[in-house]
Structure 1
Amino acid sequence: MKYSENIEAIAELQPDYLGFIFWENSKRRFDSEEIPQLDSKIKKVGVFVDAKINEIIARKNQFDLDLIQLHGSESVAICEELQEQNIKIIKAFSINNQFDFSKLKQYIPYVDYFLFDTKGKLPGGNGITFDWKILENYSYEIPYFLSGGIGSTELEAVKQFIKTKAGKNCVAIDVNSRFELKSGYKNENKLRKFKKSLYEN
């Protein structure tokens, strides 16, 4: 999220999370001085890419962020140090068909969630889905967010996936670029329809 009036409009839809990107190279970078007041049920997620720990902590405190999403090549040590600051962590990994899930094991003691996104040119927001069947190789109990180019055309596939064994630990569907009118500005009507349909049998 980027624009105040759009943040307020999307918050009316009561998403579980709203993301705010603080990576300076992102066209969606959040550069306002404050986030509009949100319902306490909506968790504010700050997204960082290989940022310094002091910057992450400063942003967390400035915007009262509920979770931090690490979307770069952050080490286990960085996750451990942030956890020691009582910061809840989503660690993102870019997935392709050759992804080795065993590399996640070392992160398990220090993160609250994983996020699986499509491996692409950018750390995120590439607008491309990956083959979710590869998540059958995910054998850990830590819950994860499913990300990567998910739009309205993937709705039925998402509903089917979360019923599978591979989807049993999927606790959130992360949507972004496929619901934008412009970078960082989300289409309220499309998101409302998507959310409503997601919960229909």
Structure 2
Amino acid sequence: MTTQVKICGLSTEATLEAALDAGADLVGFVLFPKSPRNVSVERAAALARHARARRDGVQVVTLLVDADDVLVDRVTAEIKPDLLQLHGHETPARAEEIRRRSGLRVMKAVPVSDRSEVDDALRYLAAGGGADLLLFDAKPPANADALPGGNGLAFDWHILDGARGRAPFALAGGLSPENVAAAIELTGAEIVDVSSGVESRPGQKDPDLIRRFLRAAKAAKQA
């Protein structure tokens, strides 16, 4: 199985095109005002249209953090993403509500630091759990201003051993052009998801880093 690559937090046509030209399978747009990568619904919708016009088959992902029904409905109608990424404190019940309401596939982001948290996250994939796949990410720093993701932090990938073969999952957290191949080989993740690892500064994607990340990821072999 070839690991897919998601470039998250895109906000300009130039960096979106760099991701598409380099072979990104998924492109992500962040709708979270506290994030330096935040875009409006209108902007995300325009970028999604641009992506689809530029290349057939690319999957559009919208990242939401504890979104209410009004925002879920608007995103579904205006952006028409292929996948909703829930990156807040959504419970399995809430994730299921969002999945049913939107009719879209859901990826639930779960911050983890040990094997027990990985095992607990599998409840999102049970019947009524609301998720079609999981995104394992590093836990954010313990301060009030910490973002739920995109902090450039990694975690011990060995804790995912128990999930391999049991659940579809994506991997995020501290990935870069230098370590993504090792991450793929060790974890067998279906998707690798990068944001800050391809930025020159928070919120500013670097086309060269995007290209380097994709080259490394696509050359990697799962063990």
Distance 2:105 2:33 in 1: 22
Query: What TM-score comes out, normalization by structure 1 length?
Result: 0.87
Instruction: Provide the residue aligned with 1:93 in structure 2.
Output: 110
Q: Is the 8 A contact 2:95 2:131 kept in 1?
A: yes
SS at 2:22 equivalent: coil
Q: TM-score, normalised by structure 2?
A: 0.79
Task: Return closer, same or farther for 1:107/1:156 CA change in 2, 3 Å cut-off.
Answer: closer
Preserved CA contact (<8 Å) 2:181 2:216: no
Offset, 1:154: 0.9
Contact 1:14 1:42 in 2 (8 A): no
The separation in 1 between residues aligned to 2:78 and 2:182, in whole angstroms, is 38
Change (3 A) 1:139 1:42: closer
Structure 2: which 5+ runs fail to align? 1-9, 142-146
Which of 49, 52, 58 is the aligned partner of 1:42?
58
User: Does residue 183 in structure 1 map to residue 197 in structure 2?
Assistant: no
What secondary structure sits across from 1:74 in the alignment? coil
Q: Is it true that 1:112 corresponds to 2:137 in the alignment?
A: no
Q: In 2, distance between residues paired with 1:11 and 1:22?
A: 20
Gaps of 5+ in 1: 162-166
More off after superposition, 122-131 vs 8-17: 8-17
Query: Percent of aligned pairs with the same residue?
Result: 27
Q: What displacement does 1:156 show?
A: 4.0
* TM-superposition CA deviations, 1:121-155 (whole Å, max 9, x none): 32001101100011123267331110001012213
Moved over 3 A (4+): none
Point out the more displaced range, 134-143 or 66-75.
134-143
**Structure 2 counterparts to residues 44-83 of structure 1, below 5 A:** 44-83=60-99
Structure 2 CA distance, aligned partners of 1:27 and 1:94?
20
What's the secondary structure of 1:107's corresponding residue? helix
Contact 1:112 1:142 in 2 (8 A): no
Q: Which amino acid aligns with 1:101?
A: V
RCO higher in structure (CA 8 A, sep ≥6): 2
Q: Is contact 2:122-2:167 (8 Å) kept?
A: no
CA distance in 2, matches of 1:191, 1:172: 15
Displacement after TM superposition at 1:44 (Å): 0.8
> Partner of 2:22 in structure 1?
13
Residue 34 (structure 2) aligned to one of 3, 22, 25: 25
SS at structure 2 position matched to 1:37: helix
- In structure 1, the partner of 2:149 is 124
Number of aligned residues: 195
**Contact (CA 8 Å) 2:112, 2:138: kept in 1 or not?**
yes
Kindly report the root-mean-square deviation, in angstroms, between the aligned alpha carbons of the 2 structures. 2.0
Q: Which moved more, 1:96-105 or 1:64-73?
A: 96-105
Do the aligned residues in 2 keep the contact of 1:49 with 1:71 (CA within 8 Å)? yes
